[in-house]
Chains A and B, each alone.
Chain A
Amino acid sequence: MTDTTMPAPRLSLTQRLKRPRALIVLSLLMVIPLIAYVMFGEPLARAGIREIVLIPAIPATLILYALAMASWRESWVAILGGTLVFFWVFVAVSVPFLPLLDPNKPIRPFAPPGTEVGDITFWLGTDLKGRDMLSRMLWGCQRVLVWGVTATAVAYVVGCIFGLIAGYISGIWDEIISFISNVLLSFPVMVLFILILNYLGPSGFNIVIAVTFASAPAIMRIVRGLALDNKTRDYVFAAQTRGEHPFRIMVVELLPNVRGPIIVDACLRLGYTTVAITTLTFLGLGLQPPDADWGLMIKEASNLMVWQFSYMLLIPALAVSSLILGFNLMADGLREMSLRD
């Protein structure tokens, strides 16, 4: 037999970037610096590299945005949603480099939008403590995005692990995992959040735990169903015949093959989680002051029911709405595209 291996076809740079592995690397480059910046700000600041950490994230975000726009051309819904989401992500990674006022420094309380004080202009006014609204809004998106993404990611890891075990190994494990998730699913989500956060105390890390408890059972159900469906496919039998370890089959064979529905669901769930974090912060169970956060901005201004100062409520409300709208439109567009294929 002659050697039939063809030389790998030459790929252009954009094509090579669209390969899953390059996409994963780019997304990680975008997200990890952001997470490190927000969660481990103090040790990084002590090492003197807090701002530097974010620098690789900026080009990664821009490249990802360009790639997304290029491959979603067929769906204007996805383009619109993606643009909204990437706008906020770009703001989150670049906000320390923007010429903004300190978001936590009280300057002049109750200045309406457009006020000029000396050589400073408050484009969106100041809040009731005199902090610049524009700067608080832009900084706020960083916290919301980081905790939202982290919480969703952790919930997905937990949900996928249990879902794969329940679906692929099944048997007694399936019974146990399904019973626990049924108990958790019978709780209304908000009740679960209130109970868990009240028990653990309000903080970002505890939000991650609460979201995991609330979302992982639903994710587990989806993954379990997909795993059950794919378990009898030929490629799984082939892997079993090759004698691969069940763990390897689950993670390397099954998981990449069921990624489509999972990605769409993840987009929607990112939106829910962001809403949940904002809501919980508003209720006083989430992120703590003084750092800027949309839920916190609403909470602080919610007793101030005066038309003249309604911008303090409107600005965070519009910001969070645009982000959620972006996630939902993106999920809609992706689903539309995946159905068309």
Chain B
Amino acid sequence: MLKLIARRLLQMVIIMAVVSLILFLVFDSDKFKKQIATAELGGFSVAAMSDHDYQKWLKDKGLDVPVYERYAQWIGGLLQGDFGKSFEKDAPVSKVMGERLLNTGILAFWVFFLMIPLSLIFGIVAGMKEGSFQDRSVSFIAVFTTSIPEIATAILLTVIIALGLGWLPSKSAMTGGWNSLELVLPVLTLVLYDFGYVARMTRASMAEVMTSQYIRTAVLKGIPYARVIMRHALRNALIAPFTVIVLQLNWLLSGVVVVEVFFQYNGFGKMLLEAALFGDIYVVQAATLVAVFVAVLSQIISDVGYTFLNPRIRFS
């Protein structure tokens, strides 16, 4: 087990090194340097700038140093916990990113808090009796809600709840300080979009367990049905959904850009998009590394958790 984890972690470090090197090379192109200049000084003044002034500007920003030197410097800083400085915000990347990560963390927490019980209950109820009315209706609802893209769910909820009924604010920019009401619509959107997928996985896993021999034995032994479900079936049926739920972490961190942008919620994904459009190299670098790190880490957790929970794999 430890060997497996160590190998995966090593793989992750290699992947992150490759990724950061590629990003550095990409952002070192003249096109991107011009993009940063344009974003900071405005297109007009960049066009009017003489070559000498442009070189001076590059020097001020520390962009005239060859790419390998900057990369070495950046790696050195990274080892000391320094992610570099944001060009756009003129602040350390770790501070900018910390705030955004916290916001996304709060969003993710509430999504998990609502989504996990909802999808597990729906999935278990559906999987208990395969092909029954409850199964078919849950499956249909699940296909339906996952088929509506996040952006469309966001629009439907905003139009009905915020614009039509006027119960909630339609934007979540939190301009007037923290406001929990503004969090409701993004959370609801993400829960509605995501719960169907997890519910379907739970349903499939539960349905498979219910056809197995030991459940039939338990039923034939005369154990009460509720007890069969709670004590015998659930233990095995919840292994597969566990791995799926852990993998949702990755999606919540960076896959929800569109919801964050639509509701103007200042989360991690929106920061990544803004930084990429600005050409804010160090922010993009740091954000990509965090995203890759979380993606690989959630995969490791789900794999290790799976082997840990499933004795058939653990002991073979």
Query: Which residues of A are interface residues toward B (Cβ below 8 A)?
Result: 182-183, 186-191, 194-195, 198-199, 271, 275, 278-279, 282-284, 295, 298, 302, 305-307, 310, 313-314, 317-318, 320-321, 324-325, 327-329, 332
Contact = CB atoms under 8 A, between A and B. Distances in A.
Given A313-B158, A317-B156, 13 more contacts: A186-B12, A186-B292, A190-B257, A191-B291, A279-B149, A279-B257, A298-B155, A305-B171, A306-B163, A310-B164, A320-B149, A324-B147, A328-B143
Contact of B151 (A188, A278, A305): A278
B45 to A, nearest CB: 22
Contacts of A325: 143-144, 147-148
Contacts of B152: 317-318, 320-321
A186 B272 CA distance: 17
B301 interface: no
B143 A329 contact: yes
Nearest to B171: A305
B148 A183 contact: no
Max chain A C-beta neighbours (<10 A), residue from B155, B159, B287:
B155
Interface stretch (B15-23, B51-59, B225-233, B238-246): B15-23
B67 interface: no
Contacts of A307: 159, 163-164
B147 A305 contact: no
B163 A191 contact: no
Nearest to A315: B155
Contacts of B277: 198, 284
Given A188-B254, A283-B261, A298 B19 contact: no
Contacts of A317: 151-152, 155-156
Given A188-B255, A325-B148, A183 B171 contact: no
Contacts of B11: 182
Contact of B162 (A194, A195, A302, A305): A305
A269 to B, nearest CB: 14
B253 interface: yes
Nearest to A201: B31
Question: By DSSP majority rule, is chain B's interface helix, strand, loop, or mixed?
Answer: helix
16 contacts: A183-B18, A186-B292, A186-B296, A187-B288, A188-B250, A188-B253, A190-B254, A190-B255, A278-B149, A278-B151, A282-B258, A283-B258, A305-B158, A324-B147, A327-B147, A332-B143
Contacts of A275: 149-151
A45 to B, nearest CB: 32
A327 to B, nearest CB: 8
Contact of A194 (B151, B257, B295): B257
Given A191-B291, A198-B276, A279 B151 contact: yes
Contact of B155 (A191, A314, A327, A329): A314
A328 B147 CA distance: 7
Interface string B1-44: 00000000001100100110001001000001000000000000
A325 B142 CA distance: 11
B151 A314 contact: no
B306 interface: no
B262 interface: yes
A184 to B, nearest CB: 10
Interface string B128-167: 0000000000000001101111111001101100111000
A192 B148 CA distance: 23
Contacts of B155: 298, 313-314, 317
A324 B144 CA distance: 10
B234 interface: no
Nearest to B154: A317
B217 to A, nearest CB: 27
B26 A199 contact: yes
Interface in B239-292: 250-251, 253-255, 257-258, 261-262, 269, 272-273, 276-277, 284, 287-288, 291-292
Nearest to B277: A198
Contacts of B158: 305, 313
Contacts of B12: 186
Max chain A C-beta neighbours (<10 A), residue from B143, B164, B171:
B143
Contacts of A271: 147
A2 B188 CA distance: 74
B104 interface: no
Given A307-B164, A317-B152, A324-B147, A194 B273 contact: yes
B153 to A, nearest CB: 8
A188 B287 CA distance: 11
A191 B151 contact: no
A298 B151 contact: yes
B316 to A, nearest CB: 21
Nearest to A272: B149
Contacts of B251: 188
Contacts of A194: 257, 272-273, 276
B14 to A, nearest CB: 9
Contact of B254 (A182, A191, A282, A328): A191
B11 to A, nearest CB: 8
Contacts of A313: 155, 158-159
Nearest to B253: A188
A248 to B, nearest CB: 35
Contacts of B23: 195
B291 A187 contact: yes
B292 to A, nearest CB: 5
B86 interface: no
B171 to A, nearest CB: 7
A324 B149 contact: yes
Contacts of A278: 149, 151
Given A195-B276, A283-B261, A305-B158, A182 B151 contact: no
